[in-house]
Chains A and B, each alone.
Chain A
Amino acid sequence: MAVQPQTNQTTATGTEYIVRCKDVVKEYMMGTQIVRALNGVTLDIVRGEYLSIMGPSGSGKSTLFNMIGGLDKPTGGSVFINDVDMAQLDAQELAFLRCRTIGYIFQTFNLIPVMTALENVMLPMIFGGLSTDEAIDRGIELLKLVGLGERLHHKPSELSGGQQQRVAIARALANNPQIILADEPTGNLDLRTGKEIIELLRQLNKEQGVTIISATHDLKMVDVSDRIVWIRDGRIDRVEERAAVEVRVGDVEGTPG
């Protein structure tokens, strides 16, 4: 299988943090009022972990998620991905990061409606400079991996919600990302299909070592997450670690550095 494991880049501290948020503050202008969506969040995410960000709507969960995903820039503090400060990146470097380092999964699947399943999976690879033949081979391989080997040439409108989300997962994996960001991946799916998608994500996390960061309020996620970060009023309320998992995370808040 050509899906290679991630290359390891050990940081100076010895523990591999793939994402580090330091005192992240985000303020929005709402009319004349300043609304503080994030009020100093410090969070280190370990390479290879399955992290869920939970919290009620309006808690700042989505805002934090957007910061980690390079979709929005903080007002104060910094976000580092692989020890690179996101604030230092220009538009092209951000695009490169989104193409190569991060894979996105959305609540509403977000497949490009005019393209087939295979073409959707191929698109990030084409952007990344792969030839069409290489992209086709890898696209088929990825769709088989998510269990859609029989539906390569179907349009999104011809697929069920669960199948569309599987295509989206295959697409997120296209360029061997180090991080998969999943925004409410089960939000538009029924209970059973949602469970299948969660299991698939967990399996990819274990087998391929890809770090999964998911914003959700689906409690089914709790069972599979290594850590759950609860956000409330723009701050980290508490961090829960799954008991069954060996403790490999030092500290969560107030990490020196």
Chain B
Amino acid sequence: MKKDGRQVERLQLPFRVAFHISMQSVRIRFWRSVITAAGTVLGIAFLVSVLTAMMIQRNSGAITDPSERYRMTWLVIMSLLVCLVGITNAMLMSVTERYKEIGTMKCLGAYDIFIVELFFIESALVGLIASVIGWFLGVFAVVLLKLFGEGFKVFGWVSPGEVFLYLILSIVIGTLLSVIATIIPAQVAARMPAAAALRVEV
């Protein structure tokens, strides 16, 4: 970058360092992360439970009502949207809690984009873990429920390949959901002035 003939070298935040900071952040603020993750866990669990229930029904040879399919799709989309809002809210609270930390990083030279990066990595991590948990809960709940109703023949109706596909689908949707929900909070965080570091809470 050049200006008036002055050369300004770019500051940097290597991905490895950013990843480490974000990972520590999730670990140390465990309960805050759990609240953020809860949205993704519930959304994904609902999605997977619907998919698993449909699969079991199909494999059991029961006749499915096509209109049921649309109704469920609609419900899943709505639930994911509600989760999106929930995660955004939790992340926004997390940003306000961290104003001093963000201001300090800026005083140390962080660009706005560093802050955005940190929040995105953090939410992707939380989203990833939450998706796997949500997937497990969804499959587990439905299989357990059907087990009580139908007995052990349920296991014959569960195709492992399909369940594994759900895992991949969960991870993609869950992580994406978590990252999309963080767009606004990350922007709020990035706009935090460096002077926020000096604020003393009353």
Contact = CB atoms under 8 A, between A and B. Distances in A.
B202 interface: no
Interface stretch (B12-20, B81-89, B133-141): B12-20
Contacts of B12: 126-127, 129
Contacts of B63: none
B193 A127 contact: no
A112 B18 CA distance: 13
| Most chain B CB neighbours (cut-off 10 Å) among A66, A70, A114, A123 | A114
Given A95-B109, A98-B194, A107 B200 contact: yes
Interface in B100-150: 100-101, 103-112, 114
Interface in B1-49: 1, 3-4, 8-14, 17, 21, 24-25, 27-29
B109 A71 contact: no
Given A90-B3, A91-B111, A128-B109, A96 B198 contact: no
A239 interface: no
Interface residues of B, number: 36
Contacts of B4: 88
B55 interface: no
A126 B200 contact: no
Contact of B106 (A98, A171, A183): A98
Contacts of A92: 1, 8, 10-11, 111
B197 interface: yes
B195 interface: yes
A127 B13 contact: yes
Interface string B173-200: 0000000000000000000011101101
A115 interface: yes
Nearest to B29: A114
Interface string A145-172: 0000000000100000000000000010
Contacts of A112: 21, 101, 104-105
B81 to A, nearest CB: 31
Nearest to B101: A112
A62 B198 contact: yes
Contacts of B3: 90, 93
Given A104-B197, A107-B200, A113-B28, A95 B106 contact: yes
A108 B100 contact: yes
Nearest to A131: B14
Nearest to A126: B17
A196 interface: no
A135 B23 CA distance: 20
Contact of A114 (B10, B28, B108, B114): B28
B194 A71 contact: yes
Contacts of A155: 28
B11 A129 contact: yes
A100 interface: yes
Contact of B21 (A66, A91, A114): A114
Nearest to B194: A71
Contacts of A98: 106-109, 194
A104 B107 contact: yes
B104 A183 contact: no
Interface in A117-149: 123-124, 126-129, 132
8 contacts: A99-B11, A108-B100, A110-B104, A113-B28, A114-B21, A114-B25, A127-B13, A127-B108
In the A-B complex, the 3 residue pairs with the closest CB atoms? A99-B109, A114-B24, A71-B195
